[in-house]
Amino acid sequence: MTDLGPATRKAACGTLSLAPAQETLEPGQENEIKAVFTNFEPAPVTGVEVDLALPEGWRAEPADAVGFASVAPGAKATATWQVTPPVDAEYQAYSLGAEAVYTVGGETRKLGATASVRTLPPPPTAGAYASDLDWVSMENGWGPAERDMSNGETGAGDGKPLTVDGTVFAKGLGTASPGRIRYYLGGKCTSFTAQVGQDDSQGTRGSVQFGVAADGTERVKSPVLRAADRPWPLTADVTGAKYVDLLTGDGGDGPGNDHADWGNARFHCAG
């Protein structure tokens, strides 16, 4: 997934950064967006006003102050909004903009910043392999998580066939500890299943533990699995959950060589 981190524009007099609290925004729901102005002038700046520019049809309500009478040298001022995309917003990337206008030494100045956000992918309407769905976010302890291959090195697509104790899986996810992959299910699914274990590419090294959380509540956790262990059948009840996190833990001994396979990882969903 494209990096959707904060964007910052700099000038000698200060900076303005714009950052969403989440890298994806849920249509029809409030999502927090912050713009942070930092004053690098040797004197206070006054009359700071921060405005937010949104795509057509989006709404923003200030959640805190967006205007500041004075900002001291070296100090920061944070403007916060709750932004609501339309409930029917298409699944794609969108550009947000912010502008700060302020006065220093009798002169009016402006700073701008942009950030890219993405709306949530549509929830599955039938059973689907996790590797065939777009995730909401991904954190992985070594390089990116991989689809239908094991976790490789630091690049994308550099893994090997998913293999646990000699069993090869054509479908699944390759991760490394610590890891978290979040999916949006929109309450459409009932269960998640996978055959999980330590990938054979690491020889006798590494230990991993797998977990599934639904809307922040842990639903299942595997035993600590090592190279000699067979694939462990994981099943999690995710009935009605909006968000599901697939979690890769280090088994308590650190992340070294923890290449974790989610073989045949699949969501079971109704239309």
**CB-based burial of residue 44 (10 Å sphere; 0-12 exposed, 13-18 middle, 19+ buried)?**
middle
* Cβ-Cβ contacts under 8 Å for 40 (sequence gap 6 or more): 12, 13, 14, 15, 73, 74
Amino acid at 125: T
pLDDT at 263 (0 to 100): 98
pLDDT at 201 (0 to 100): 93
pLDDT at 271 (0 to 100): 62
What does the pLDDT profile of the chain (271 residues) look like in tens digits? 334 444 554 445 789 999 998 889 999 999 999 999 999 989 999 999 999 999 999 999 998 888 999 999 999 999 999 999 999 999 999 999 999 999 998 999 999 999 999 999 989 989 999 999 999 999 999 999 999 999 989 889 999 999 999 999 999 999 999 999 999 999 999 999 999 999 999 999 999 999 999 999 999 999 999 999 999 999 999 999 999 999 999 988 899 999 999 999 999 998 6
**CB-based burial of residue 212 (10 Å sphere; 0-12 exposed, 13-18 middle, 19+ buried)?**
buried
Residue 56 and residue 146: Cα distance in Å, rounded?
Answer: 35
How many other CB atoms sit within 10 Å of the CB of residue 95? 12
* Cβ-Cβ contacts under 8 Å for 62 (sequence gap 6 or more): 79, 80, 81
Tokens of 104: 């220093």
pLDDT at 64 (0 to 100): 81
Domains and CATH numbers, the chain: 7-119 (2.60.40.10), 128-269 (2.60.120.1060)
Alpha helices in 184-235 (DSSP H): none
Tokens of 248: 């890769």
pTM: 0.80
